[in-house]
Structure 1
Amino acid sequence: MADSHYDVIIIGTGAGGGTLAYKLAASGKKILLLERGSFIPKEKANWDSRLIFQKEYYRTQEIWYDKHGKVIRPVTHYNVGGNTKFYGGALLRFREQDFNRVFHQDGISPEWPLKYQDFAPYYTEAEKLYEVHGQRNLDPTEPQTSEDYPFPPISHEPYIQEINDGLKDKGLHPFYLPLGIKLNETNRFLSTCIRCDTCDGFPCFLNAKSDADVNCVRPAIANQNVTLITQAKVLRLHTSASGREVNGVVAEIAGKRHIFSGDIVVLACGAINSAVLLLQSANDQHPNGLANSSNLVGRNYMAHKFGIVMALSTKFNATVFPKTIAVNDFYWGEKGFPFPMGSVQLLGNITANRVAAYAPPLTPKFIAEAVANHSVSWLLITEDLPNPNNRVYVKGEQIYIDYTKNNEQTFNRFMKRWVEVLQSMKLPSHQGHISVVFPQKMTLKEVGHQCGTCRFGEHPRNSVLDLNCRTHDVENLYVVDGSFFPSSSAVNPSLTIMANALRVGEHLLARMGG
């Protein structure tokens, strides 16, 4: 720690920070990564669904609060690679229209200051970096692309193939869910992935998931100019007397405080914690929080409207890896409803322990096992609209999320519509019998798709960041996680965060002359 000045300091190693570190590593610039967690150890617990879903083994023990002061136990993880260690690897591009102004039943999704074409080359770069498997020209909402996916799609297992065919028979357009995974189905001896049933929601024991740790951080720190310090919780940022540049990053490491300095400082803590760090760094020059002259830091918090529809069948489901189908036929609405509804994708394997984690207390184990063995689960995503009153703020050391639901009518319609689709399907081996057990909405603790708390834009009055994701108020401070999103779309945010980190990385290389 003796030499504490760096060309670039990156705080956080997830989809944004890890990807940016990879992009900058070969420049030769002196780079410091500060990560509040550690590497996830390789251990039996990696594949233990009881420990992960019932005991919450790897989740943070932090407690946040909602607007009523009620406790939130956030579903988030602090470790190298961030939440990508536990994601399902679904890596989709935003639709072209997502970057434009979109009218919803419950409000307006604002226009982005940059368009799809500005992100397209970085989407392509990110798909290569994260080894995405997929197939073009099956999804009717797919944006324009210049290249095929780097790898072929992950095949459907027989049970899932039958569902895929049934959806086609209903006039829908199911497509292979784009996945970042190290699976070679042509030659299993060259495949890191063994196509197991512990992927979505689990850290991979084999490092076969394309996450920010394995694909970006580890290659980056192989360069001598890149330093990673784990278990380093950044507490606040100091600025110069003018308030125009960050000149100190205060981190707690092994119970002691250290101050690092860098020519450029980048926040990549996730949309909630990046906003919290800016707010906790208030000083005389920035009395409302660092880089907060707009009063927008922490505001416009979005995390998607999630629902799970679990379909129970009389047929035993022997599928090991079901997460291979997505459907966007209702993305922009349907006949008689001209408003966006959202996206559908299969979830990973639902184990009995996972069922028990969400079931009513004292649910018998045999019931949880029966549900897990005869079901398939779908994730529905509807756009969460930005609202400045939906915000993250701090009181002392406590984090609060003040959130009011929106787009509820659309979301309810979407859930009902998908239930109707499933109930109407007649699959040969199911004797025509699929009954939907329940549609379940996720709650405020589900923060995996968090975004919007430091939106980017062209004017300091209505945005926190400029088009290169540098704060308007502080000349050497950037944010590269999902904070910059002006809207949330209705697909997973990971690939857009990764693509943007590559885009900002290109700007930083030019700024540094690298």
Structure 2
Amino acid sequence: MIIDDQHYDVIIVGTGAGGGTLAQKLAPTGKKILILERGDLSPHENERWNAMDMVAKSDLPSADEEWFDSSGDRFRPHINYWVGGSTKFYGAALLRMRERDFEKVQHQDGVSPEWPLKYQDFEPYYTEAEKLYNVHGKGGEDPTDPPRTQEYPHQPVTHEPRMQEICEAISKQGLHPFHLPLGIKQNNRHNFFESPNIEGDTTVLNRADVKTNSEEVGVLPALKYANVSLKTKAKVVCLHTNSSGREVKAVEAEICGQSYLFFADIVVLACGAVNSAALLLRSASEKHPIGLANRSDQVGRNFMKHLNTVMVQFSSAPNKSVFQKTICVNDFYWGDKDFSSPMGHIQNTGNIVQDMLPTEAMPILSLLVKLMPGFGLRQLANHSIGWWLQTEDLPDPNNRVQLVGDKLRLDYTPNNTEAHDRLIHRWMDVLKAIDRSSDNSLFPWGVYPRSETPIQVVAYQCGTCRFGEDPTTSVLDINCRAHDVDNLYIVDGSFFPSSAGVTPALTIIANALRVGDHLIERLK
């Protein structure tokens, strides 16, 4: 084992929304900071890479990683390791949790628990996060929008003509579509989407040079400071404590087949909700027999990832939008007159390509193609509009990350499914009404293929190390420090007591900024 002869003030493990953001927050302190990242720098030289390509490539770190489900069946998670973490692949939709999301909420299948902090505690950090990640949006369009002290830092991305038509048709149904808040680099939409390099690029928002991500707004700015260093291809495998078990004294990592030990006063995990929990479980010791910081037996429990469905709407006219992901609908977020429980959130997907058509719907799509001379799956994709529907799943202690020997097992049974089914059928009714009122429907009798996300899709993972004031029911305190370990923090989605109905990225970023302020005071 190689022992690093440096001593660091802070070691940050992971460079995603939490770790990368925290790195840039702490960098100006002058404190000695080491960032450890399991992956490598992403291939910026290929400007047109996209998330689907990256998942499919056989040489990715995740391609060799296997997890197991509750039945013992192995699967490859849709997760990749790069500097920037999941923000290298996310859709850049950055929404605040609603004010009521921080309270106890009754759902059809159970209760979404109250958070120990409230919206007003996060609001200034949401504002800071939106500035840092260059969020484009417009306040006040969405009836569920929480109060804000400042407007979005940039104007919303405007709808292209076809998407504007859809937006107006949704409004005619008595709903309130609004501009999806997006983290993108360019302030002028027209210079961005209408440039010669962008035209016809159906995966535009997956391009490395378009969306804001934690590598470019977090890690790279932090590395401009002499006190910050980064080691890539460094897989952290264990945290070692002192004799009392109250402090992490060393971080063990594997780098190019060699074992290294790194020492620091403060250790911050930002590996993602699954891997942070797994690392704590792997770090069991005499003082922490069932996992580090796991006196409450809550490490790994209450795993959440939303109930997600992709739905496709077809049009007789081709959809020529270069970028269609600009519409969002929250009218069913808290339910409607026919269903009083929360249902969830709807937004556009990016542009649909042939390989993204729902596999479950392939038999009927193939039949329809046969009935329409001159049409193929590629033509169907070019006539499509994609919709992403998501519903909050509720914390369940039996949905959990476990270690079985050296194998990572993810037990997950979806809950709150009736609410999600209601959202699906409610949205299908909206689309049918739109199609009946226009001549644009390719299938006027209503054909809306859809696909649910399987267990291997863990894009919105959260909840495995929840924060709270009671150390018997939570892993972290309200500053996201482990109750049982004085110098250990977690700043990824692990800390969520509930998943809410919107994507977690902006809340993870805001929380990292909040914890950053706490650590700055502690480091003084």
TM bucket by the smaller chain? over 0.9
Is 1:396 paired with 2:432?
no
Q: Distance in 2 between matches of 1:460 and 1:431?
A: 56
Match of 2:474? 463
Aligned residues of 1:185 and 1:191 also touching (Cα < 8 A): no
Map Cα deviations across residues 17-68 of structure 1 (whole Å, 9 max, x no partner).
0000010011100000000000111244843677346557757111111000
The answer to whether residue 99 in structure 2 is matched with residue 88 in structure 1 is no
Task: Indicate the SS of the match to 1:337.
Answer: coil
Post-superposition Cα deviations, 1:225-255, rounded to whole Å, max 9, x if no partner, equal 0000000000000000000000010000111
Q: TM-score, normalised by structure 2?
A: 0.93
Q: What is residue 132 of structure 2 aligned with on the other side? A: 129
The 1:210/1:246 distance shift into structure 2, 3 A limit, reads: same
2 CA distance for matches of 1:499 and 1:99? 14
Q: 1:425 to 1:118 in 2, by over 3 A?
A: same
Aligned length: 510
**Does the CA-based 8 Å contact 1:302-1:450 persist in structure 2?**
yes
Alignment match of 1:493 (pick from 504, 508, 517): 504
AA aligned to 2:267 is: V
1:425 counterpart residue number: 434
Counterpart check, 1:167 vs 2:170: yes
Please point out which of 471, 492, 510 is paired with 2:521.
510
| Distance of aligned partners of 1:266 and 1:186 in 2 relative to their CA distance in 1, 3 Å threshold | closer
Q: Distance in 1 between matches of 2:353 and 2:482?
A: 44
CA distance in structure 1 between the aligned counterparts of 2:411 and 2:274, rounded to whole angstroms: 12
The corresponding residue for 1:292 is 294
Among residues 98, 110, 113, which one is paired with 2:101 in the alignment? 98
Structure 1 letter corresponding to 2:203: T
The one-letter code sitting in structure 2 at the alignment partner of 1:401 is L
Q: Compare 390-399 and 222-231 and name the one that shifted more.
A: 390-399
Match of 1:73 in 2: 76
Cα separation, 2, equivalents of 1:287 and 1:46: 47
**Residues 402 and 136 of structure 1: CA distance in aligned 2, closer, same or farther (over 3 Å):** same
Separation in 2, partners of 1:327, 1:16: 27
Look up the equivalent residue of 2:510 and give its one-letter code: A
- Kindly provide the amino acid, as one letter, of the partner of residue 202 in structure 2: D
Q: What is the aligned partner in structure 2 of residue 342 from structure 1?
A: 344
Aligned to 1:414: 423
Distance in 2 of aligned mates of 1:164 and 1:303: 28
Kept in 2, the 8 Å contact 1:304–1:382? The answer is yes
Cα shift at 1:459: 1.1
Matches within 5 A, 1:213-224: 213-224=215-226
Which residue is equivalent to 2:372? none
Please tell me whether the aligned partners of residues 183 and 194 of structure 1 are also in contact (alpha carbons under 8 angstroms): no
Matches of 1:373 and 1:36, distance apart in 2? 38
Give the CA deviation at 1:431.
6.2
Asked if the contact 2:361–2:450 (Cα under 8 Å) also holds between the matched residues in 1, the reply is no
* 8 A Cα contact 2:428 2:448, kept in partner: no
- Percent sequence identity is 53
RMSD (Å) for aligned C-alpha atoms: 2.3
Q: Which runs of 5+ in 1 are unaligned?
A: none
Worse-matched range after superposition: 235-244 or 412-421: 412-421
Partner SS, residue 257 of structure 1 = strand
How far the C-alpha of 1:398 sits from its partner, in A, is 1.0
Specify the code of the residue in structure 2 equivalent to 1:388: P
* Uncovered stretches (5+) of structure 2, i.e. residues with no partner: 370-374
Matches within 5 A, 1:299-310: 299-310=301-312
- TM-score where L is the length of structure 1: 0.95
Verify the 8 A CA contact 1:45 1:52 in the aligned structure 2: no
2-side partners of 1:307 and 1:277: how far apart? Answer: 30
- Conservation of the 8 A alpha-carbon contact between 2:313 and 2:448: yes
Alpha carbons 1:393, 1:399 under 8 Å: kept: yes
Residue equivalent to 1:19: 21
The one-character-per-residue Cα deviations of 1:164-214 (angstroms, maximum 9, x if unpaired) are 0000000000000000001233672899994742245x3x24x22100011
Of 271, 274, 280, the residue aligned with 2:273 is 271
2:239 to 230, 237, 240: 237
Q: 1:198 is matched with which residue?
A: 203
Q: CA deviation at 1:403?
A: 1.3
1:440 aligns with 2:451: yes
Contact 2:4/2:261 (CA < 8 Å) preserved in 1? no
Deviates most, 436-445 or 258-267: 436-445
Select 1:115's aligned residue among 115, 118, 132.
118
